[in-house]
Amino acid sequence: ARQGHAFRDLRLVPRYYIDTSKREQKATLLGQTFSSPFGIAPTGMAGAFRQNAELFLSQAARETNIPYLMSGASNASMEDGFKLAGKNLWYQIYGAKNRSFQLDLVKRAIDLGLTTIAVTCDVPVSSNRERNRRNGFVRPLKMTLPTILEAMLHPAWVINYYRTGGLPMLGNWQRYAAANSTPGEVADLFAKQTPDPSQTWRDLEAIRNAWPGKLLVKGVMHPEDARIAIGMGVDGLLVSNHGARQLDNMPSSLEMLPMIRSAVGPDVPLLLDSGVRRGSDIVAALCMGADFVLTGRATLYGATAGGLEGVKKAVSILQRGI
Protein backbone atom coordinates (compact mmCIF):
# COMPACT_ATOMS: atom_id res chain seq x y z
CA ALA A 1 0.00 0.00 0.00
CA ARG A 2 2.83 2.37 0.88
CA GLN A 3 4.29 1.94 -2.58
CA GLY A 4 1.00 2.72 -4.32
CA HIS A 5 0.42 5.85 -2.26
CA ALA A 6 3.90 7.33 -2.72
CA PHE A 7 3.22 8.89 -6.13
CA ARG A 8 -0.49 9.37 -5.59
CA ASP A 9 0.10 11.48 -2.49
CA LEU A 10 2.38 13.92 -4.35
CA ARG A 11 1.05 17.01 -6.08
CA LEU A 12 2.68 18.81 -9.00
CA VAL A 13 2.44 22.60 -8.65
CA PRO A 14 2.63 24.29 -12.06
CA ARG A 15 4.34 27.56 -12.97
CA TYR A 16 2.88 29.61 -15.83
CA TYR A 17 3.83 32.33 -18.34
CA ILE A 18 6.91 30.39 -19.40
CA ASP A 19 7.50 29.87 -23.13
CA THR A 20 6.89 26.13 -23.62
CA SER A 21 6.30 26.23 -27.38
CA LYS A 22 9.60 24.41 -28.02
CA ARG A 23 9.95 21.48 -25.67
CA GLU A 24 11.44 18.02 -25.88
CA GLN A 25 11.81 14.99 -23.63
CA LYS A 26 15.38 14.06 -24.57
CA ALA A 27 17.56 13.04 -21.65
CA THR A 28 21.29 12.31 -21.52
CA LEU A 29 22.39 9.63 -19.08
CA LEU A 30 25.76 7.86 -18.70
CA GLY A 31 26.95 9.26 -22.01
CA GLN A 32 23.90 8.21 -24.02
CA THR A 33 21.06 10.46 -25.21
CA PHE A 34 17.58 8.94 -25.14
CA SER A 35 14.28 10.17 -26.52
CA SER A 36 12.69 10.38 -23.05
CA PRO A 37 13.82 10.41 -19.40
CA PHE A 38 12.64 6.83 -18.81
CA GLY A 39 13.49 3.30 -19.81
CA ILE A 40 12.35 -0.29 -19.33
CA ALA A 41 13.03 -1.89 -15.95
CA PRO A 42 14.04 -5.54 -15.63
CA THR A 43 11.11 -7.93 -15.26
CA GLY A 44 12.11 -11.57 -14.87
CA MET A 45 10.56 -14.47 -16.79
CA ALA A 46 8.77 -12.10 -19.17
CA GLY A 47 8.74 -14.90 -21.76
CA ALA A 48 6.40 -16.86 -19.52
CA PHE A 49 3.76 -14.16 -20.06
CA ARG A 50 4.23 -14.07 -23.82
CA GLN A 51 6.77 -15.94 -25.91
CA ASN A 52 9.70 -13.70 -26.92
CA ALA A 53 8.53 -10.87 -24.66
CA GLU A 54 12.12 -9.77 -23.99
CA LEU A 55 12.78 -9.62 -27.72
CA PHE A 56 9.77 -7.32 -28.15
CA LEU A 57 11.10 -5.17 -25.30
CA SER A 58 14.56 -5.13 -26.93
CA GLN A 59 13.29 -4.12 -30.36
CA ALA A 60 10.93 -1.50 -28.94
CA ALA A 61 13.79 -0.01 -26.91
CA ARG A 62 15.79 0.57 -30.07
CA GLU A 63 12.84 1.81 -32.15
CA THR A 64 11.72 4.29 -29.47
CA ASN A 65 15.32 5.06 -28.37
CA ILE A 66 15.00 4.30 -24.68
CA PRO A 67 17.18 1.90 -22.64
CA TYR A 68 16.04 -1.61 -21.74
CA LEU A 69 17.67 -3.12 -18.66
CA MET A 70 17.28 -6.84 -19.39
CA SER A 71 16.61 -8.96 -16.30
CA GLY A 72 19.15 -11.46 -15.02
CA ALA A 73 16.19 -13.89 -15.00
CA SER A 74 15.15 -13.16 -18.59
CA ASN A 75 14.10 -15.88 -20.98
CA ALA A 76 15.87 -14.36 -23.98
CA SER A 77 19.66 -14.21 -23.81
CA MET A 78 21.56 -10.93 -23.78
CA GLU A 79 23.09 -11.98 -27.09
CA ASP A 80 19.66 -12.26 -28.74
CA GLY A 81 18.49 -9.04 -27.09
CA PHE A 82 21.57 -7.17 -28.34
CA LYS A 83 20.86 -8.20 -31.94
CA LEU A 84 17.62 -6.21 -31.73
CA ALA A 85 18.41 -3.45 -29.23
CA GLY A 86 22.09 -2.72 -29.84
CA LYS A 87 23.39 -0.01 -27.51
CA ASN A 88 19.90 0.41 -26.04
CA LEU A 89 20.32 -2.91 -24.21
CA TRP A 90 21.66 -2.86 -20.67
CA TYR A 91 22.02 -6.01 -18.57
CA GLN A 92 21.20 -6.75 -14.92
CA ILE A 93 23.40 -9.12 -12.93
CA TYR A 94 22.44 -11.12 -9.86
CA GLY A 95 25.28 -12.33 -7.64
CA ALA A 96 25.84 -16.09 -7.84
CA LYS A 97 27.22 -18.58 -5.33
CA ASN A 98 29.66 -19.65 -8.04
CA ARG A 99 31.41 -16.33 -8.59
CA SER A 100 32.68 -17.45 -12.00
CA PHE A 101 29.11 -17.26 -13.32
CA GLN A 102 28.66 -13.57 -12.53
CA LEU A 103 32.12 -12.74 -13.89
CA ASP A 104 31.37 -14.71 -17.07
CA LEU A 105 28.15 -12.71 -17.50
CA VAL A 106 30.30 -9.57 -17.26
CA LYS A 107 32.67 -10.98 -19.88
CA ARG A 108 29.75 -11.72 -22.21
CA ALA A 109 28.53 -8.14 -21.81
CA ILE A 110 32.04 -6.90 -22.69
CA ASP A 111 32.24 -9.18 -25.73
CA LEU A 112 28.89 -7.89 -26.99
CA GLY A 113 29.89 -4.25 -26.51
CA LEU A 114 27.18 -3.36 -23.99
CA THR A 115 27.63 0.11 -22.54
CA THR A 116 25.97 -0.41 -19.15
CA ILE A 117 25.30 -3.15 -16.63
CA ALA A 118 23.49 -3.00 -13.30
CA VAL A 119 24.31 -5.18 -10.31
CA THR A 120 21.25 -5.91 -8.16
CA CYS A 121 22.07 -5.81 -4.45
CA ASP A 122 18.63 -6.17 -2.90
CA VAL A 123 18.01 -9.93 -3.12
CA PRO A 124 20.27 -11.47 -0.45
CA VAL A 125 17.60 -14.11 0.20
CA SER A 126 14.46 -15.33 -1.54
CA SER A 127 11.67 -13.22 -0.12
CA ASN A 128 8.36 -14.46 1.26
CA ARG A 129 6.23 -13.65 -1.79
CA GLU A 130 2.86 -14.67 -0.43
CA ARG A 131 0.97 -13.91 -3.62
CA ASN A 132 3.32 -16.13 -5.64
CA ARG A 133 2.83 -19.01 -3.20
CA ARG A 134 -0.92 -18.52 -3.15
CA ASN A 135 -1.01 -18.58 -6.98
CA GLY A 136 1.36 -21.55 -7.26
CA PHE A 137 3.98 -19.40 -9.05
CA VAL A 138 6.84 -21.30 -7.38
CA ARG A 139 9.33 -24.02 -8.34
CA PRO A 140 7.94 -26.46 -9.31
CA LEU A 141 4.91 -24.62 -10.72
CA LYS A 142 1.61 -25.61 -9.11
CA MET A 143 -1.67 -25.27 -10.99
CA THR A 144 -4.19 -23.81 -8.56
CA LEU A 145 -7.93 -23.81 -9.31
CA PRO A 146 -8.11 -20.02 -9.83
CA THR A 147 -5.18 -20.26 -12.28
CA ILE A 148 -6.87 -23.09 -14.20
CA LEU A 149 -10.14 -21.15 -14.39
CA GLU A 150 -8.30 -18.01 -15.54
CA ALA A 151 -6.48 -20.02 -18.22
CA MET A 152 -9.77 -21.49 -19.50
CA LEU A 153 -10.90 -17.92 -20.24
CA HIS A 154 -7.86 -17.45 -22.52
CA PRO A 155 -7.70 -20.62 -24.69
CA ALA A 156 -5.57 -19.00 -27.42
CA TRP A 157 -2.90 -18.10 -24.83
CA VAL A 158 -2.91 -21.64 -23.41
CA ILE A 159 -2.63 -23.23 -26.85
CA ASN A 160 0.30 -20.96 -27.74
CA TYR A 161 2.00 -21.60 -24.37
CA TYR A 162 2.01 -25.37 -24.87
CA ARG A 163 2.64 -25.16 -28.63
CA THR A 164 5.87 -23.26 -27.91
CA GLY A 165 7.04 -25.79 -25.33
CA GLY A 166 5.52 -24.56 -22.07
CA LEU A 167 7.88 -23.05 -19.51
CA PRO A 168 10.50 -21.09 -21.49
CA MET A 169 14.26 -21.33 -21.04
CA LEU A 170 16.26 -18.91 -18.88
CA GLY A 171 18.36 -17.90 -21.86
CA ASN A 172 21.31 -16.30 -20.05
CA TRP A 173 21.79 -19.27 -17.73
CA GLN A 174 21.45 -22.09 -20.24
CA ARG A 175 25.18 -22.28 -20.95
CA TYR A 176 26.01 -22.84 -17.26
CA ALA A 177 23.82 -25.97 -17.06
CA ALA A 178 24.60 -29.42 -18.41
CA ALA A 179 24.19 -29.96 -22.14
CA ASN A 180 20.58 -30.58 -23.23
CA SER A 181 19.17 -29.39 -19.91
CA THR A 182 15.43 -28.71 -19.87
CA PRO A 183 14.06 -25.24 -19.01
CA GLY A 184 13.10 -26.64 -15.61
CA GLU A 185 16.63 -27.88 -14.94
CA VAL A 186 18.13 -24.52 -15.92
CA ALA A 187 15.60 -22.79 -13.65
CA ASP A 188 16.69 -25.10 -10.82
CA LEU A 189 20.35 -24.16 -11.43
CA PHE A 190 19.43 -20.47 -11.31
CA ALA A 191 17.50 -21.03 -8.08
CA LYS A 192 20.47 -22.85 -6.51
CA GLN A 193 22.92 -20.10 -7.53
CA THR A 194 20.81 -17.06 -6.67
CA PRO A 195 20.16 -15.49 -4.32
CA ASP A 196 23.56 -15.64 -2.65
CA PRO A 197 23.51 -14.28 0.91
CA SER A 198 27.32 -14.27 1.09
CA GLN A 199 27.71 -11.42 -1.44
CA THR A 200 29.51 -8.38 -0.01
CA TRP A 201 30.99 -5.10 -1.22
CA ARG A 202 34.07 -7.11 -2.25
CA ASP A 203 31.98 -8.88 -4.90
CA LEU A 204 30.80 -5.54 -6.24
CA GLU A 205 34.45 -4.43 -6.28
CA ALA A 206 35.38 -7.53 -8.30
CA ILE A 207 32.70 -6.69 -10.88
CA ARG A 208 33.84 -3.06 -10.97
CA ASN A 209 37.41 -4.22 -11.65
CA ALA A 210 36.24 -6.60 -14.40
CA TRP A 211 33.83 -4.21 -16.12
CA PRO A 212 35.18 -1.24 -18.11
CA GLY A 213 31.79 0.26 -18.99
CA LYS A 214 29.16 2.12 -16.98
CA LEU A 215 28.17 0.34 -13.77
CA LEU A 216 24.95 0.89 -11.82
CA VAL A 217 23.99 -0.59 -8.47
CA LYS A 218 20.30 -1.44 -8.36
CA GLY A 219 18.36 -1.64 -5.12
CA VAL A 220 20.20 0.92 -3.00
CA MET A 221 17.77 2.38 -0.44
CA HIS A 222 19.97 3.58 2.42
CA PRO A 223 21.97 6.83 2.11
CA GLU A 224 25.07 5.25 3.65
CA ASP A 225 24.97 2.36 1.13
CA ALA A 226 24.71 5.00 -1.58
CA ARG A 227 27.85 6.74 -0.30
CA ILE A 228 29.79 3.45 -0.07
CA ALA A 229 28.81 2.43 -3.62
CA ILE A 230 29.83 5.77 -5.12
CA GLY A 231 33.10 5.60 -3.16
CA MET A 232 33.82 2.26 -4.87
CA GLY A 233 33.61 3.87 -8.29
CA VAL A 234 30.17 2.90 -9.56
CA ASP A 235 28.79 5.31 -12.16
CA GLY A 236 25.26 5.67 -10.85
CA LEU A 237 22.60 4.26 -8.54
CA LEU A 238 19.18 2.82 -9.22
CA VAL A 239 17.04 3.59 -6.18
CA SER A 240 14.59 0.68 -6.02
CA ASN A 241 12.61 -1.42 -3.60
CA HIS A 242 12.28 -4.19 -6.19
CA GLY A 243 8.74 -3.21 -7.11
CA ALA A 244 7.73 -3.68 -3.44
CA ARG A 245 8.24 -7.44 -3.92
CA GLN A 246 11.29 -8.06 -1.76
CA LEU A 247 10.73 -6.65 1.75
CA ASP A 248 7.21 -5.69 2.80
CA ASN A 249 8.26 -3.21 5.51
CA MET A 250 10.40 -1.15 3.16
CA PRO A 251 9.67 2.50 2.33
CA SER A 252 8.96 3.35 -1.29
CA SER A 253 11.93 4.28 -3.44
CA LEU A 254 10.35 7.69 -3.96
CA GLU A 255 10.43 8.33 -0.19
CA MET A 256 14.15 7.55 0.00
CA LEU A 257 15.17 9.36 -3.19
CA PRO A 258 15.67 12.87 -1.66
CA MET A 259 17.79 11.44 1.18
CA ILE A 260 19.97 9.53 -1.27
CA ARG A 261 20.32 12.59 -3.50
CA SER A 262 21.40 14.58 -0.46
CA ALA A 263 23.92 11.87 0.51
CA VAL A 264 25.65 11.62 -2.90
CA GLY A 265 25.40 15.24 -4.04
CA PRO A 266 24.05 16.77 -7.24
CA ASP A 267 26.36 15.18 -9.81
CA VAL A 268 25.87 11.41 -9.29
CA PRO A 269 23.41 9.93 -11.81
CA LEU A 270 20.38 8.69 -9.86
CA LEU A 271 17.73 6.47 -11.42
CA LEU A 272 14.51 5.35 -9.77
CA ASP A 273 12.15 2.44 -10.29
CA SER A 274 9.21 0.85 -8.41
CA GLY A 275 5.69 2.21 -8.41
CA VAL A 276 6.00 4.14 -11.68
CA ARG A 277 2.73 3.83 -13.57
CA ARG A 278 2.09 7.14 -15.37
CA GLY A 279 3.90 9.95 -17.15
CA SER A 280 3.15 12.20 -14.17
CA ASP A 281 4.96 9.71 -11.91
CA ILE A 282 8.07 10.09 -14.07
CA VAL A 283 7.85 13.89 -13.86
CA ALA A 284 7.37 13.68 -10.08
CA ALA A 285 10.46 11.46 -9.70
CA LEU A 286 12.53 13.95 -11.71
CA CYS A 287 11.27 16.78 -9.48
CA MET A 288 12.27 14.77 -6.39
CA GLY A 289 15.87 14.33 -7.53
CA ALA A 290 16.02 11.52 -10.08
CA ASP A 291 17.85 11.97 -13.38
CA PHE A 292 16.06 9.07 -15.04
CA VAL A 293 13.25 6.61 -14.30
CA LEU A 294 12.62 2.95 -15.17
CA THR A 295 9.18 1.36 -15.39
CA GLY A 296 8.59 -2.39 -15.43
CA ARG A 297 4.92 -3.26 -15.37
CA ALA A 298 3.73 -0.79 -18.00
CA THR A 299 5.99 -2.21 -20.71
CA LEU A 300 5.55 -5.82 -19.50
CA TYR A 301 1.77 -5.41 -19.80
CA GLY A 302 2.27 -3.92 -23.26
CA ALA A 303 4.44 -6.84 -24.37
CA THR A 304 1.99 -9.39 -22.97
CA ALA A 305 -1.10 -7.82 -24.48
CA GLY A 306 0.26 -6.68 -27.82
CA GLY A 307 3.79 -7.89 -28.53
CA LEU A 308 6.12 -5.34 -30.13
CA GLU A 309 3.30 -2.91 -30.94
CA GLY A 310 2.02 -3.28 -27.38
CA VAL A 311 5.37 -2.19 -25.92
CA LYS A 312 5.56 0.77 -28.29
CA LYS A 313 2.00 1.74 -27.35
CA ALA A 314 2.90 1.62 -23.65
CA VAL A 315 5.96 3.80 -24.26
CA SER A 316 3.89 6.30 -26.27
CA ILE A 317 1.27 6.51 -23.48
CA LEU A 318 4.00 7.39 -20.98
CA GLN A 319 5.58 9.89 -23.37
CA ARG A 320 2.22 11.55 -23.98
CA GLY A 321 1.64 11.69 -20.23
CA ILE A 322 4.96 13.49 -19.75
- Residues with a catalytic annotation lie at 242
Give the C-alpha separation, 71 to 75, whole Å. 9
Which amino acid, one-letter code, is at 299? Answer: T
User: Using only C-alpha atoms, what is the Rg of the chain?
Assistant: 19
Give, rounded to a whole angstrom, the gap between the first and last alpha carbons of the chain.
Answer: 24
Residues making up the chain, counted from first to last: 322
Burial class (CB in 10 A: 0-12, 13-18, 19+), 61: buried
Closest CA to 123 of 295, 256, 246, 294: 246
Pairwise CA distance, residues 93 & 107, whole Å: 12
